[in-house]
A and B are shown apart, each in its own frame.
Chain A
């Protein structure tokens, strides 16, 4: 059985976003890159499946500037993935092109039984690559998955929707599973794991190898803007009862939200 995990490098959640001088992107110069938090749940779920059944090879795959995304792949391999595939691209790719490239790369592999992804990447918040990828691979998808169980070709996934409601799906055969927080608790990479990861095989591809180019994106962003500055906070003084009274008055009469 072969399982693939898609990972992305994103700016750390503590990053302060600065906009480029041309306004058409962000300043990436001082950003600390981390593995997309939702992708960590995807990696963990793939490794759990590997441990529950024999003869499973877990391959991590990523696309983006080679040096940056190789870090994510090494992290996945340090956690336990067997090998990695990097698709090198300096261009910023939209979900369509990302999924197209991933699907072309995966079709070159001998088989594909499951693809695990994060439900979204916390940079562009598109939550689209998993579904594009599933369609390009011709297989079903379930996104926002908070429970995944099963074996031997029959699986059950719970998908979390509004109000904590859960849709329960039965899946047979290959599928894309997009992980939500709560699916599992990702393990930390151990020191021996980190050492071993350095020697695990890493296959390198370019967009050109897949018959694609950076110009194939279908959605781009321009005119970046920061949120408007808030006026300074109005502190409400007094005893709790007075503060409560004054706050309600302001919310009704000044802010007009009650």
Chain B
């Protein structure tokens, strides 16, 4: 079976769910798995990779790699991947991975597909599918002239298996590369939200022009609080400056795939629909019964969102608590 290399991301000593999904998929396909963790705390998190199927795990546990740096990280990653003799590479399609691995692919003279949503194995060959045109269609990814097939998968797409703490996983320590003087990270400015990012959110509450004013997004913040959701927005309101661009869902914003997407006062421009059509269940609240958003929705409420949203929040609070 193919040697598979998996880049594992971790947080507070635990490997992130997206990485566990990939370990599970590769293990089920019978792959020989090598894992890699980078940054301070990687030694502590490493054994978990073994529990989910890795037979060897590399760590580069250095304070100098506390912050991501594409120049430094790509060096250690490329060399380790190359030395492993793998033919398949998997990682979660996170902001770090999407920045880092195309550079690694260049160093390895190989192909890469980011943001994939489907992954199966046909013997040794991984078959991935990827949304194109922000989800207006989907296609199968085929590799050619590629010594290593590099696939970045969106999180929340695959099941996670049961850990097995009985197996043996060798942990190998890598030395940290020197930081390239030409590019240094000098600061990390924390965002104003500790909510999960739109791209990883399980529930999204989104507002459009029907919100009428930036201040009215408070209503959605309250609903999001109850649902443990992340708040998103349409292009129109991001362009109007009511919310930061980082909250925009759509073809020129973020492509999202939550279990539940609640669209409030969003008419449903085609570029917005493209970005959220991967949502499992879509609810639309809009005054205009002919709004295109309803054609993409599972449930629709034609009405005044300023009346409906507070009632919905009340109802959810009483039911969920």
List residues of A whose CB falls within 8 A of some B CB.
11, 13-17, 19, 26, 37-38, 94-96, 99, 122-132, 134-136, 139-144, 146, 156, 158-173, 175, 180-182, 216-227, 230-231, 233-236, 240-241, 243-245, 247-248, 250-252, 255, 257-258
B144 within 8 A of A: yes
Query: Which chain A residue lies CB-closest to B106?
Result: A135
Give which listed residue, B111, B114, B253, B282, contacts A181 with CB less than 8 A: B253
B296 contacts the other chain (Cβ, under 8 Å)?
yes
- Contact at A230–B298, with CB atoms within 8 Å? yes
Quick one: CB contact mask for B170-208 with A, threshold 8 Å, 1 for yes?
000000000011111111111111111101100100000
- Quick check: B270 and A14 within 8 Å, CB to CB? yes
Q: Does B95 contact A (CB under 8 A)?
A: yes
| B302–A248 touching, CB < 8 Å | no
Complex CA–CA separation, A172 to B137 (angstroms): 41
The answer for the CA separation of A219 and B143 in the assembled complex, in Å, is 5
Question: Bound complex: CA of A221 vs CA of B144, how far in Å?
Answer: 11
Query: B138-184: which have CB < 8 Å to A?
Result: 138-146, 180-184
A131 touches B130 (CB 8 A): no
B55, CB-defined interface residue at 8 Å: no
Q: Is there contact, CB below 8 Å, between B281 and A255? A: yes
- B47 contacts the other chain (Cβ, under 8 Å)? no
Which of B67, B129, B131, B137: most chain A CB closer than 10 A? B137
| Stretch from B37-45, B80-88, B312-320 contacting the other chain | B312-320
Q: Interface majority SS on A: helix, strand, loop or mixed?
A: mixed
Name A185's closest neighbour in chain B (CB-CB): B239
The count of residues in chain B whose C-beta lies closer than 8 Å to any C-beta of chain A is 106
Chain B residues lying within 8 Å of A134, measured Cβ to Cβ, are 103
Say whether B136 contacts A247, CB under 8 Å: no
**B242 sits at the interface (CB 8 A):** no
Known contacts A217-B111, A219-B146, A241-B315; 10 further A-B pairs (Cβ under 8 A): A14-B271, A125-B114, A143-B98, A172-B181, A181-B252, A230-B295, A233-B300, A240-B303, A240-B311, A245-B315
Q: A182-B244, A219-B113 are in contact. Are A167 and B253 (CB under 8 A)?
A: no
Are B311 and A257 touching (Cβ within 8 A)?
no
Q: Which residues from 267 to 300 on chain B have a C-beta closer than 8 Å to any C-beta of chain A?
A: 269-271, 274, 277-278, 280-284, 289, 294-300
Do B295 and A169 have beta carbons less than 8 Å apart? no
- Least CB distance from A93 to B in Å reads 12
Are B312 and A247 in contact, with the CB atoms below 8 A? yes
Name the residue on A nearest B235 (C-beta): A13
Query: Are A140 and B137 in touch, CB under 8 angstroms?
Result: no
Cα–Cα, bound, A224→B195 (Å): 34
Chain A residue contacts of B274, Cβ below 8 A: 13
A218 with B143: in contact, given A131-B102, A135-B106, A168-B185 (CB under 8 Å)? yes
Q: Check if B62 is an interface residue, CB within 8 A of chain A.
A: no
> What are the 3 closest A-B residue pairs judged by CB atoms, nearest first?
A218-B111, A164-B191, A135-B106
Residues on B with C-beta less than 8 A from A156 are 186
Give, as a whole number of angstroms, the nearest-CB distance from B270 to chain A: 5
Q: A162-B200, A244-B308 are in contact. Are A181 and B245 (CB under 8 A)?
A: yes
**Which residues on the B side are within 8 Å of A141 (C-beta)?**
70, 99, 103
In the bound assembly, the distance between CA atoms of A129 and B114 in angstroms comes to 12
Complex interface: chain A residues within 8 A of B289 (CB)? 235
| Separation of A175 and B184 alpha carbons in the complex (Å) | 12
Shortest CB-to-CB span from A173 to chain B, Å, is 5
Residue of A at shortest CB range from B68? A167
Contact B183 A255 (CB under 8 A): no
Contact (Cβ within 8 A) A128 B133 = no
Partner among B99, B100, B182, B294 whose Cβ is within 8 Å of the Cβ of A171: B182
Chain B residue with the shortest CB-CB distance to A232: B295
- State how many angstroms separate the Cβ of B180 from the closest Cβ of chain A: 7
B216 at the interface (CB under 8 A from A): no
Indicate if the CB atoms of A251 and B111 lie closer than 8 Å. no
Contacts of B295 in A (CB 8 A): 230, 233
Verify A125–B115 contact, CB threshold 8 A. yes
Which of A38, A162, A218, A245 is close to B95, meaning CB atoms less than 8 Å apart?
A162
Any A CB within 8 A of the CB of B259: yes
Contact, CB under 8 Å: B137 / A227: yes
The one of A122, A135, A144, A217 that contacts B99, using a Cβ cutoff of 8 Å: A144
Give chain B nearest CB distance to A122 CB in angstroms.
5
Q: Give chain B interface residues in 242-270, CB to chain A under 8 Å.
A: 244-246, 248, 250-253, 255, 259-260, 269-270
Question: Is B110's CB within 8 Å of the partner chain A?
Answer: yes
Interface residue? B71 (CB, 8 A): yes
What's the Cα separation between A226 and B315 when bound, in Å?
A: 36
Does B49 interact with chain A (Cβ within 8 Å)?
no
Chain A residues near B284: list those with CB within 8 A: 233
22 contacting pairs across A/B (C-beta < 8 A): A13-B250, A13-B252, A13-B274, A26-B137, A95-B112, A96-B110, A128-B98, A128-B105, A162-B191, A162-B200, A165-B188, A167-B67, A168-B186, A171-B182, A182-B244, A219-B111, A222-B140, A223-B139, A233-B284, A234-B299, A244-B314, A255-B299
The residue of chain A having its C-beta at the shortest distance from the C-beta of B94 within the complex is A162
On whether the beta carbons of A221 and B106 are closer than 8 Å, the reply is: no
